[in-house]
Amino acid sequence: MTAPTTTAPRSGRRGGWLPTAVLFVGAAYCLLPVVWVVMAATKSGSELFSTFTFWPGTGFAGNLSDLSGYRDGVYWTWMANSALYAGLGALLSAAVSAVSGYALALYRFRGRETVFNVLLAGVLMPPVILAVPQYLLMAEVSLTDSHLSVLLPVILSPYGIYLARIYAAAAVPQDVVEAGRMDGAGEWRIFRTVALPMMLPGLVTIFLFQFVAIWNNFLLPYIMLSDDEKFPLTLGLFTLLNQGANTPALYTLVITGALLAIVPLIALFLFIQRFWSLDLLSGAVKS
């Protein structure tokens, strides 16, 4: 006597195409502007303004040469400034988030939850609200129109500290910390040699988030800086775009510069992916 066979309801299979279609539309919505920038950067000025197509043009080499030669290569100065702001700012922010998140997760002290709630309020606060007060504070200490005026405000990230606390609470067992104390290790040594390696994948994520946020930041440099030699890419391309209203030939430089500005973010994401892969592998081995 054979057992009756059951089949999955076909209604679920029929409805399975809907999430896929929604994801496809969302992906197309996000990728379509990127594809257009890639194609537009390959067109000369005449090709760009004559027709609107997604076919590549023949002017990418000329656009790249014109961009590099514009004002003695000021674009690459903007690129270096963005790398400085984003790289150093994200590194310092990840370090501050690591120490703060570790302390909030593993230490018990009066007012800990109050501090954490204040940080959550900072996560919910739009950056535009803080921009003018930050400018006034920098003006009081004569740091406006300097690299520090862009670097200092981005070091403290409420969202980064929040993520670091959540990750430290999950990745660093309290028993391991207590074992280190029983062995005579100091608090700083326990953090540096025991907790920090366990928190590394989470800190890499915080670094990536901060790097992308600072790289794409426009409002803070716009308020703080007036010397275009200190501009990041976002502000530099904005000035080029404004000048393009009177000189349409600059539009091709803006588009080519926007394309090149994406490349470091893609390279960083591909490089950092291996840290997430290593974390997943280590978790599989431990289990």
33-68 pLDDT, tens digit per residue, is 888 888 888 888 777 777 777 777 788 888 899 889
Residue 147 CB partners (closer than 8 Å, separation 6+): 81, 84, 85, 230
pLDDT score, position 182 = 87
pLDDT score, position 128 = 81
Average pLDDT over residues 234-243: 90
pLDDT score, position 149 = 92
Q: What percent of the chain has pLDDT over 70?
A: 90
Domain ranges of the chain: 70-286
Instruction: From residue 209, give the alpha-carbon distance in Å to each of 22, 164, 203, 205, 280.
Output: 26, 12, 10, 6, 19
Q: Which residue has the higher pLDDT, 119 or 209?
A: 209
Q: Give me the chain's average pLDDT, please.
A: 84
Q: What percent of the chain has pLDDT over 90?
A: 34
**Is the pLDDT score of 94 beyond 90?**
yes
- Considering the domain 70-286 in this protein, what is its CATH number? 1.10.3720.10
Taking a C-beta distance cutoff of 8 angstroms, is the pair 153, 220 a contact? yes
pLDDT score, position 13 = 57
Q: Which of 16-30, 48-62, 74-88, 191-205 has the highest mean pLDDT?
A: 74-88
User: What is the token pair recorded at 154?
Assistant: 């981005």
Tens digits of residue pLDDT in 142-199: 999 999 999 999 998 889 999 999 989 888 888 888 888 888 888 888 888 888 888 8
Average pLDDT over residues 1-22: 64
